[in-house]
Amino acid sequence: MAPATALIIGATGFVGGHLCELLATKHPQLRLLCLMRDTTPQKANDLNKLNPSVEIVEGTLEDSAIISAAAEKVDVVIHVAHSDYAPSVQAVLAGLRKRASTDSHRTPIYQHMSGLGVIADNVRGEKVDFVKEWTDVGFRLDDCPKDNTHLASDRQILEAGTRSQDGIQTAILFPGLIYGHGKTPRSGAWVPFYSTFAKAAGHAGTWGPVEVSQYCIHVRDVAAAVLCVLGYLLEDATRGGSDGLFFVTSQEPTMSWRKINSVLGDILYARGLVRVPGTQPFPEGVADPLGHYGWSLLGSNGHTRADRLGGLGWNAEWSKKEPLRDVVNKMLEIGI
């Protein structure tokens, strides 16, 4: 049975804009409820241009009651906003469990975008002789270092997807370094993040020497992966849970965080926003306040193969057309 309604959390974000546009093409019958903070007529109009089926739900990730009530009314929830904000995840799960308990004809679907922080090797930015390349064939969350980022929310989602009572079809996508250009002015969370720290420190910087990298993926390919997995779940209501874990990366050349931040440092210096060009490790006073979260997420490698998505017919088309090295300068120029 085709879904009639979906809630998109993060619709105005980097991935969300591309996703809304793709849904208009691939699932034009789907009525979309989109969570939006600080709604204005211009923001609502911009989203409606991407998908005329959009209806705005005013609220933020902090508004658990609003999210839960909206999730209870829809067939599908797709969360492509802040992956580590636990209250929003818990609100989605609460709403979908209520939906499942009152509708025996359709199992609700929850797709969540996590990240490669789950498999971080925690080398604190140091170069190592061997970096494991993970596959999602047979992948389990229990295989990951137990204190890695994203896992707290991901485990809750996985548990919901394996329940026998009030069950939910769940899928978790783990994209690598997402790059490209958004449908809104967004350039991905890592661009303003690193820029903010650089301006505070007076130079672009990294967590440790950062001869580390994540495999990268174009933002359009991430949106296409979400639709691919949605189709996979819709084909069979028994799919999901432990069967719903997908890496989303390409095999195209990536860049280390040191190389990316060297480009960023040159741009910021040319604009007079930092004291020196290039990049250097952030001092402890800048890097350490983020604690294990910062060191694990930004000082680790994340190398994976999207084997399961490839088996479903997905390919990293845009990552081949627009490799990271070809767009990183423009992306940083726009995103600062």
Burial class of residue 179 in the structure, from the number of CB atoms within 10 Å of its CB (0-12 exposed, 13-18 middle, 19+ buried):
buried
For residue 150, being part of any structural domain is answered with yes
Model pTM score: 0.96
Per-residue pLDDT reduced to its tens digit, 35-79: 999 999 999 999 999 999 999 999 999 999 999 999 999 999 999
For residue 261, being part of any structural domain is answered with no
Per-residue pLDDT reduced to its tens digit, 72-108: 999 999 999 988 899 999 999 999 999 999 877 789 9
Does the pLDDT of residue 2 top 90, yes or no?
Answer: no
Per-residue pLDDT reduced to its tens digit, 292-324: 989 998 999 999 999 999 999 999 999 999 999
CATH code of 163's domain: 3.40.50.720
For residue 206, being part of any structural domain is answered with no
Q: CB-based contacts of 279: which residues, under 8 Å, 6+ apart? A: 203, 204, 205, 206, 258, 261, 262, 264, 265
pLDDT at position 183, please? 85
Q: Which amino acid is at 209?
A: P
53 closest CA partner among 11, 78, 20, 19 = 20
pLDDT, average across residues 5-28: 95
Distance between CA 320 and CA 218 in Å, rounded? Answer: 9
Does the pLDDT of residue 33 top 90, yes or no?
Answer: yes
Burial class of residue 99 in the structure, from the number of CB atoms within 10 Å of its CB (0-12 exposed, 13-18 middle, 19+ buried):
buried
Rg (CA), the chain: 20
53 closest CA partner among 6, 12, 18, 92 = 6
Per-residue pLDDT reduced to its tens digit, 203-229: 999 999 878 999 999 999 999 999 999
For residue 138, being part of any structural domain is answered with yes
Distance between CA 336 and CA 9 in Å, rounded? Answer: 24
For residue 146, being part of any structural domain is answered with yes
pLDDT at position 79, please? 98
Per-residue pLDDT reduced to its tens digit, 110-163: 999 999 999 999 999 999 999 999 999 999 999 999 999 999 999 999 999 998
For residue 244, being part of any structural domain is answered with yes
298 closest CA partner among 217, 208, 189 = 208
Both structure tokens of 105: 């004809």
Question: What's the domain count of the chain?
Answer: 1
pLDDT at position 95, please? 97
For residue 21, being part of any structural domain is answered with yes
pLDDT, average across residues 277-292: 93
Per-residue CA distances from 252 to 258, 305, 324, 332 (Å): 18, 11, 8, 20
Q: Which domain holds residue 50?
A: 5-182+217-250+303-317
Question: CA 157 from chain center: how many Å?
Answer: 15
Per-residue CA distances from 241 to 119, 128, 257, 258, 284 (Å): 18, 34, 33, 36, 40
For residue 81, being part of any structural domain is answered with yes
DSSP class of residue 214 equals B
pLDDT at position 103, please? 78
Angle at 33 between CA 31 and CA 38, to 5 degrees: 150
Distance between CA 175 and CA 248 in Å, rounded? Answer: 4
Does the pLDDT of residue 185 top 70, yes or no?
Answer: no
Both structure tokens of 20: 């809304």
Grade residue 186 by pLDDT with cuts at 50, 70 and 90.
low
Contact between residue 199 and residue 32 where contact means Cβ atoms under 8 Å apart: no
